[in-house]
Amino acid sequence: DGGITQSPKYLFRKEGQNVTLSCEQNLNHDAMYWYRQDPGQGLRLIYYSQIVNDFQKGDIAEGYSVSREKKESFPLTVTSAQKNPTAFYLCASSIPYSGRARGNEQFFGPGTRLTVL
């Protein structure tokens, strides 16, 4: 079965610690995205990557870092510089450009809920 997996489902972090959220996809998608979801605020784009070894900042990149060393993987690190990291984090990927008859359809993982203690 193809899909996107995120781990862990729940994550607890002490203040001042860095933590890395995993996102893996076996859909052969080129583009991958990280979003942050807060209640009543919808999804905000943190970082995105259109191709391996390349990524761009989204709207709220401060305090976060990413890497894209493999097509299948796009891990997100929440650093201690992120002032309010408690949120639900969603990873997504897009189909290749040649198949985008449905616009930029994005496929989402199940999410990771991060809580800072």
Partner 1 sequence: GEDVEQSLFLSVREGDSSVINCTYTDSSSTYLYWYKQEPGAGLQLLTYIFSNMDMKQDQRLTVLLNKKDKHLSLRIADTQTGDSAIYFCAESITSASKIIFGSGTRLSIRP
- Binding residues for partner 1, rule: CB under 8 A, are 4, 33, 35, 40-43, 45, 48, 58, 90, 92, 97, 100, 102-111
User: Which amino acid belongs to residue 81?
Assistant: A
List the structure tokens of 87.
């949120």
Task: Give the shortest CB-87-to-partner 1 separation in angstroms.
Answer: 14
Q: Going by C-beta distance under 8 Å and a sequence separation of 6 or more, which residues neighbour residue 67?
A: 55, 74, 75
**Nearest CB to partner 1, comparing residues 80 and 111:** 111
Name the residue nearer to partner 1 (CB basis): 37 or 77.
Answer: 37
Q: How far is the CB of 16 from partner 1 (least distance, A)?
A: 28
Residue with Cβ nearer partner 1 (15 or 54)? 54
Distance CA 109, CA 117 (A): 25
- Are 108 and 90 in contact by the 8 Å Cβ rule? The answer is yes
CA distance 39 to 52: 32
Residue 80 vs 107, nearer CB to partner 1: 107
Q: How far is the CB of 6 from partner 1 (least distance, A)?
A: 8
